[in-house]
Structure 1
Amino acid sequence: MKLALVLPGGVDRGGEERVIPAFLALIGQLSLRHDVHVFVLRQEPKPATWTLRGATVHNIGDGRQRVRAIAAIVAEHRRGPFDAVQAIFSGSCSLVAMAAAKWIRRPGLIHIAGGELIALPAIGYGGRQRWISRMREAVSLRAAAAVTAASAPILESLQALGVHAQRLPLGVDLAAWPPSLPRRRGPGAARLLHVASLNRVKDQPALLRALAELVAQGVPFQMDIVGVDTLDGEMQRLAGELGLGERVRFLGFKTQRELRPLVDMADLLVMSSLHEAGPLVLLEAAVAGVPTVGTAVGHLVEWSPVAALAVPVGDHLALAGAIRQLLEDEALRLRLAHEAQRRALDEDAAYTAARFEALYRSLAK
């Protein structure tokens, strides 16, 4: 098959920085058997083309992105017909994909991968904050031949909008991120890990307040926070105000190769997000044998309490309690780690690609 994937970004030509690992995993798997063309709206400011993970990447660049992206898909279709057009993320990606699919008379598909279906006005986040965005989503989703999403909470949001969708998680590339057996905790302070950009939706203030509560309770730990800082040092200042200076390290962005040793050393992954569709980092931690405790979003809702522990969003005291529970109950921590790993391995990147392929074939008939 010849496939068109429409992405907002995450496919830098270097393959390490400014990438979304789940995108690379899916592209690499599909390219093993199919002719994959990725139309990325703005990876670079100027139009360009390069090869990545076996696929041809068409960077649209600045200026009239939607119109030029649709034109680029149509032009490539004339060189050799596409079998399907897939948007990963809704919003502008779905609008481009559905318009192009209608033009070339091929099935168009949408995968919900972020905050397209929510509105969090307090932090200015979500695709449903403005009526024009809500209208665009309604038109795009109803034009799609199929809609997929990574986790049950997103499916419920789609159902509430009257949109039927299939659960299809974006899995981990096991060749690039090999499994490790869950291990027992070593002596000394617990090693905690948080992997996320420092931004409002990840709610690091709740995370830091949970850590401050653990300090007050006398729980020994060391927390590594990995992610790009978009808040100009605000979280570092808050950590200082909470007396966490010696307990928390802000490590900034790390490539996947740099991240893996930190995951391997961790006893727990801790998440504090207000919203997640997946997320991939939970699956990566699970593959590496590390269980997760965090807020009730995405896969955490699906997995808790058998393969993870989830607490109410924004409740830092509950988050501190769940972290302490797992640090004090090694048998429970290991049970969660083993079940989380089983689930992540069952739904790896090869599984994801196979599910997408089956969907494309069913629509091409």
Structure 2
Amino acid sequence: MKLALVVPGGVDRGGEERVIPVLLSLIARLAREHEVHVFALRQEAKPGRWPLAGATVHNIGDGWQRTRAVAAILREHRRAPFDTVQAIFSGHCSLVAIAAARLLRRPGLVHIAGGELVALPAIGYGGRLHWRSRLREAVTLRAATAVTAASAPIIDSLRALGIEAERLPLGVDLEAWPPSLPRTRSEGPAKLLHVASQNRVKDQPTLLRALAVLAADGKDFRMNLVGVDTLDGAIPRLATQLGLDGRVRFLGFKTQRELRPLMEDADLLVMSSLHEAGPLVLLEAAVAGVPTVGTAVGHLVEWAPDAALAVPAGDWLALAGAIRQVLGDEAQRLRLAREAQRRALHEDAAYTAARFDALYRRVAAR
């Protein structure tokens, strides 16, 4: 089959920075069986084309992106016909994919992978904040041949909008990120890890306030925060104001190879997001034998209480209590880690690719 995938980015020609690891894994596995063309709306500012993970990336670049993306798909289709057109993320990606699919009279599919279905006006985030984006989603998702999403909460949101969808998680590539058995904690300070860009959706203020509560209670810990700062230093400044200097390290962006030893050294992953379709780092932590405590979003909702602990978003007292509970009960921490790993291994990258492959064959056969 010949497949068109429409993505916002995450497919840098170098393959390490400015990439979405699970997306690369999916592309590579699909490319083993199919001819895959990835249409990236803005990986780079200027149009371009390059090979990546066995596929061909068509970078659209700035200016009239949606129109030129549809035109690029149509040109490639004239060279040799596509069988399906898939959007990874909705929004502009789904608009391009469904418009092209309709023009080509081919199946058009959408995978919800971000905040397309939420509205968080307090931080100006979400695909349902404005009537234009709500209308766009209503039209494109109903026009799609099939809709998928990573976790049960997103499926529930779609169902509330009258759209039936399949749960299809984006799993971890075990070839690139192999499993490690859960480990007993060593002596000394608890080793905590947070992996996310510093932005308002990830809600690091809630995380830091939870850590401040633990520090005030005399809990001995060290926290590594990995991720790009998009808030002009606001989060490190808050850490200083809360008296967390010496307990918290801001490490910036890390490649997957650089992240792995930090993950393996951690006792607990802590997430504080206001919204997640995944989060994917929870799956990576699980494969590496590390359990997660976090807010009730995405997979955390699905996994709690047997494979993770989840608390209400924005509740730093509850988050501090959950961290304290897990660090104070080594048997529970290891139980959470083992069950989380079992689930992550069951729905790995091979599982994801097989599900997408079966879906493409099913809709193409119609």
* Aligned twin of 1:235: 235
How is 1:258-273 mapped onto 2 (pairs within 5 angstroms)?
Answer: 258-273=258-273
SS of the residue corresponding to residue 46 of structure 1 reads coil
Question: What is the alpha-carbon distance in structure 2 between the residues aligned to residue 262 and residue 137 of structure 1?
Answer: 38
The one-letter amino acid of 1:160's match is: A
Give the TM-score taking structure 1 as reference length.
Answer: 1.00
* Aligned twin of 1:344: 344
Q: Report how far residue 82 of structure 1 moved.
A: 0.8
CA displacement 1:106-159 (0-9 Å, x = unmatched): 100000000000000110100000000000000000000000000000001000
Matched, 1:23 2:29: no
Question: What is the alpha-carbon distance in structure 2 between the residues aligned to residue 315 and residue 104 of structure 1?
Answer: 48
Give the TM-score taking structure 2 as reference length.
Answer: 0.99
* Aligned twin of 2:216: 216
* Aligned twin of 1:331: 331
The one-letter amino acid of 1:333's match is: R
SS of the residue corresponding to residue 200 of structure 1 reads coil
How is 1:80-91 mapped onto 2 (pairs within 5 angstroms)?
Answer: 80-91=80-91
How is 1:184-333 mapped onto 2 (pairs within 5 angstroms)?
Answer: 184-333=184-333
SS of the residue corresponding to residue 13 of structure 1 reads coil
Question: What is the alpha-carbon distance in structure 2 between the residues aligned to residue 362 and residue 30 of structure 1?
Answer: 15
SS of the residue corresponding to residue 38 of structure 1 reads strand
Question: What is the alpha-carbon distance in structure 2 between the residues aligned to residue 292 and residue 186 of structure 1?
Answer: 18
Q: Report how far residue 279 of structure 1 moved.
A: 1.0
Question: What is the alpha-carbon distance in structure 1 between the residues aligned to residue 182 and residue 191 of structure 2?
Answer: 14
Q: Which runs of 4+ in 1 moved over 4 A?
A: none
**Superposition RMSD in Å:** 0.4
Question: What is the alpha-carbon distance in structure 1 between the residues aligned to residue 346 and residue 256 of structure 2?
Answer: 21
* Aligned twin of 1:33: 33
Question: What is the alpha-carbon distance in structure 2 between the residues aligned to residue 279 and residue 56 of structure 1?
Answer: 27
* Aligned twin of 1:51: 51
How is 1:161-200 mapped onto 2 (pairs within 5 angstroms)?
Answer: 161-200=161-200
Q: Report how far residue 25 of structure 1 moved.
A: 1.0
The alignment of Structure 1 onto Structure 2 pairs a total of residues equal to 365
The one-letter amino acid of 2:121's match is: P
Question: What is the alpha-carbon distance in structure 2 between the residues aligned to residue 83 and residue 173 of structure 1?
Answer: 26
CA displacement 1:325-344 (0-9 Å, x = unmatched): 00010000000000000100
Q: Report how far residue 205 of structure 1 moved.
A: 0.3
Question: Which 5+ residue runs of structure 1 have no aligned equivalent?
Answer: none
* Aligned twin of 1:110: 110
Matched, 1:9 2:15: no
Q: Report how far residue 182 of structure 1 moved.
A: 0.4
Question: Which 5+ residue runs of structure 2 have no aligned equivalent?
Answer: none
Question: What is the alpha-carbon distance in structure 2 between the residues aligned to residue 86 and residue 364 of structure 1?
Answer: 12
SS of the residue corresponding to residue 270 of structure 1 reads strand
Q: Report how far residue 22 of structure 1 moved.
A: 1.4
CA displacement 1:260-291 (0-9 Å, x = unmatched): 00000000000000000011100000000000
The one-letter amino acid of 2:14's match is: G
Question: What is the alpha-carbon distance in structure 2 between the residues aligned to residue 218 and residue 122 of structure 1?
Answer: 33
Question: What is the alpha-carbon distance in structure 1 between the residues aligned to residue 157 and residue 344 of structure 2?
Answer: 23
* Aligned twin of 1:135: 135
The one-letter amino acid of 1:60's match is: I
CA displacement 1:42-92 (0-9 Å, x = unmatched): 000111000111000000001110011001101111111111000000000
Question: What is the alpha-carbon distance in structure 1 between the residues aligned to residue 160 and residue 2 of structure 2?
Answer: 33
Question: What is the alpha-carbon distance in structure 2 between the residues aligned to residue 279 and residue 203 of structure 1?
Answer: 14
Q: Report how far residue 309 of structure 1 moved.
A: 0.3
* Aligned twin of 2:156: 156
Question: What is the alpha-carbon distance in structure 2 between the residues aligned to residue 45 and residue 114 of structure 1?
Answer: 22
Question: What is the alpha-carbon distance in structure 2 between the residues aligned to residue 43 and residue 90 of structure 1?
Answer: 17
The one-letter amino acid of 1:334's match is: L
CA displacement 1:147-186 (0-9 Å, x = unmatched): 0000000001000100000000000011110100000000
Question: What is the alpha-carbon distance in structure 2 between the residues aligned to residue 57 and residue 159 of structure 1?
Answer: 33
Q: Report how far residue 32 of structure 1 moved.
A: 1.0
Percent identity of paired positions between Structure 1 and Structure 2: 78
